[in-house]
Amino acid sequence: MATMSKAQRTKPTPGSQRLVLLCIVVFAFLLLLSSVISTGKLGLPYQQTLIDYFVWSPRGKRHHSLSEKYLYWGNRIDCPGKNCETCAGLGHQESSLRCALEEAMFLNRTFVMPSGMCINPIHNKKGILNRSDNKTTEEGWVGSSCAMDSLYDIDLISEKIPVILDDSKTWHIVLSTSMKLGERGIAHVSGVSRHRLKESHYSNLLIINRTASPLAWFVECKDRSNRSAVMLPYSFLPNMAAAKLRNAAEKIKAQLGDYDAIHVRRGDKLKTRKDRFGVERIQFPHLDRDTRPEFILRRIEKRIPRGRTLFIGSNERKPGFFSPLAIRYKLAYSSNFSEILDPIIENNYQLFMMERLVMMGAKTYFKTFKEYETDLTLTDDPKKNKNWEIPVYTMDERKEEAS
């Protein structure tokens, strides 16, 4: 009996080809049926495109099912007053984003994430990265916004909460389908509680459009100060940094070796205003004092031994500001790693997200403000303070207040 050649053995037969095609058709039909059951109506362009997306997406990319429903909070990450120019920075915007993601988790919906994030120019000076002992720069990075996927790994976030971007083809198709579904397509739910959204007829809608507070998204999170009610920890978004930022952080950590870190928040936090008697007041009365080098040394010396490598992340741009710390430690900044960072960093938000990863990898890490009870901090001032108090610049507070 003649043996089959290798080419003959591997060539698909017409029967096997028909079987594969039949399996794909059956699979697509089942997905289509799940959508019909979910929404009660067929939207062919939407289903067909998502079938293509689901079946032919590259391996490793998150697959969206046809039965998914969506939560939309607007086309940008909010700041107080909805004005980017007055935004307190990435922390404010991450609070908004975390709130929206938590609601998507609670409602079991896919979150439609804005494709861009605005950046307040005051937080985007190049001097933070281009740090030296004898000069500073007020030059800013180009642009007042950045792409969301340049900050966060969308697929990594989607492993916890399904996410799509609002400039994606998928979202445009979902919007088109919602219009065809009429009342079952979309509802605008300003002021409706998330519990009501989950337990009422809203749960069957394709899209819930959450028109957020006129102040900021995170105002919608009524229990955001109650740690037991927080579904996502503060560490969630910092650990969701884009792949290129995570890779850069790993390279810097490898070069640092065994190191410690401090995060020194100054800059915008030191703003003062005069009361009706002309007395200067500040929301964080000890912060200016506690984040100066001589007081930092006192605070960290018992935890960080002499001679250790100390990585410093800070928005302080004054040349040589931290140099006095060199009497005890080997100092390191992001600016020491320009060969790693220059090709990838385009704004200070990216820089800060990368620095957070480096600081979180330190053996001993001092934050500026306490977030968790176990945190080591440079100051005892609370992170949130509505009162404006007289600043304290010496260790003898009674003497300071008397003067």
pLDDT at 128 over 70: no
Which pLDDT band holds residue 400 (cuts at 50, 70, 90)?
A: very low
Q: What is the arithmetic mean of pLDDT over 204-227?
A: 70
- Residue 116 CB neighbour total at 10 angstroms: 21
Which pLDDT band holds residue 6 (cuts at 50, 70, 90)?
A: very low
For residue 122, the model assigns a pLDDT of: 73
Single-letter code of the amino acid located at 313: G
Which pLDDT band holds residue 32 (cuts at 50, 70, 90)?
A: very low
The answer to which of 274-278, 308-312, 398-402 has the lowest mean pLDDT is 398-402
Mean pLDDT computed over every residue of the chain? 80
For residue 38, the model assigns a pLDDT of: 43
pLDDT at 46 over 50: no
Which pLDDT band holds residue 57 (cuts at 50, 70, 90)?
A: very low
For residue 193, the model assigns a pLDDT of: 82
CA–CA gap between residue 332 and residue 49 (Å, rounded): 50
CA–CA gap between residue 402 and residue 387 (Å, rounded): 20
Q: What is the CATH number of domain 52-239?
A: 3.40.50
Which of 49-58, 102-111, 197-206, 300-309 is predicted most confidently?
A: 300-309
CA–CA gap between residue 99 and residue 261 (Å, rounded): 29
pLDDT at 244 over 90: yes
Q: Which residue has the higher pLDDT, 179 or 120?
A: 179
Classify strands 280-282 and 272-274 as parallel, antiparallel or unpaired: antiparallel
pLDDT at 403 over 60: no
* pTM as predicted: 0.78
For the record, the structure tokens of 339 come out as 């060969």
Residues near 288 by beta carbon (within 8 Å), at least 6 away in sequence? 266, 270, 282, 391, 393
For residue 52, the model assigns a pLDDT of: 43
CA–CA gap between residue 311 and residue 51 (Å, rounded): 49
CA–CA gap between residue 336 and residue 349 (Å, rounded): 18
pLDDT at 331 over 90: yes
| Contact (Cβ atoms closer than 8 angstroms) between residue 100 and residue 282 | no
Which pLDDT band holds residue 138 (cuts at 50, 70, 90)?
A: low
- Residue 377 CB neighbour total at 10 angstroms: 17
Write the burial class of residue 327 (CB in 10 Å: 0-12 exposed, 13-18 middle, 19+ buried). Answer: exposed
> CATH 3.40.50 in the chain, residues?
52-239
For the record, the structure tokens of 345 come out as 């960093």
For the record, the structure tokens of 176 come out as 């088109």
